[in-house]
Amino acid sequence: MRTGVERLPPGPKRAKSTRRFTPAGIALLAIFVALDERGAAGGDDGEAFAAATGRVLRAGYDPVLYGNYPLIHGQSERRSYFYAHMIRPSLVHSGDRVWAGERVGRVGKTGNARTVGCHLHFEIHVRGHPIDPLPALERWERDG
């Protein structure tokens, strides 16, 4: 099963992630995906995949913070998955059913990411509140 990080290329072009804490102490994770030599947004290395099967709660564009994004609620879970700064509008739309591993878009630098380069801002929300996504990402990486 593919998740939001499994399509990264092996070797030196691995993703670099950074953890940032909000004033409330909530950890957010940004995954900076290696791009081709031209630095083109949305290259083959920049695909974003659904972390879980579920339904799209909303997809849209926020010009101030998140740019292009979908928010996907996991089926039979109390979790939702948020993908932001995608280069183009999401490939999935409000109400769509999404399967784990389905491509939902390509990373980019929309919203407030215009000046920091292409990356995927990924959040996991439990009961509407963001949690640190790093443990889940590490588990998915480990369990393959």
Q: What local confidence, expressed as pLDDT, does residue 144 receive?
A: 67
Q: Is residue 4 part of a domain?
A: no
Q: Of 4, 109, 95, whose CA–CA distance to 56 is shortest?
A: 95
The total of structural domains in the chain comes to 1
Residue 103 lies in a domain: yes
C-alpha distance from residue 49 to each of 3, 9, 27, 92, 119 (Å): 5, 14, 21, 11, 14
Residue 38 lies in a domain: yes
Q: Is residue 120 part of a domain?
A: yes
Does the pTM exceed 0.75?
A: no
Structural domain that includes position 50? 11-143
DSSP 102: -
In a domain, 115, yes or no: yes
Residue pair 108/68 in contact (Cβ under 8 Å)? The answer is: yes
Find the range with the poorest average confidence among 69-83, 87-101, 123-137.
Answer: 123-137
Question: Is 89 inside any structural domain?
Answer: yes
In a domain, 5, yes or no: no
Local confidence band at 14 (pLDDT 50, 70, 90 cut-offs): very low
Whichever domain contains 57, its CATH number is 2.70.70.10
Q: Is 84 a member of any domain? A: yes
Tell which wins on pLDDT, 77 or 119: 77
Task: Name which of 109, 111, 136, 133 is nearest 122 in CA terms.
Answer: 133
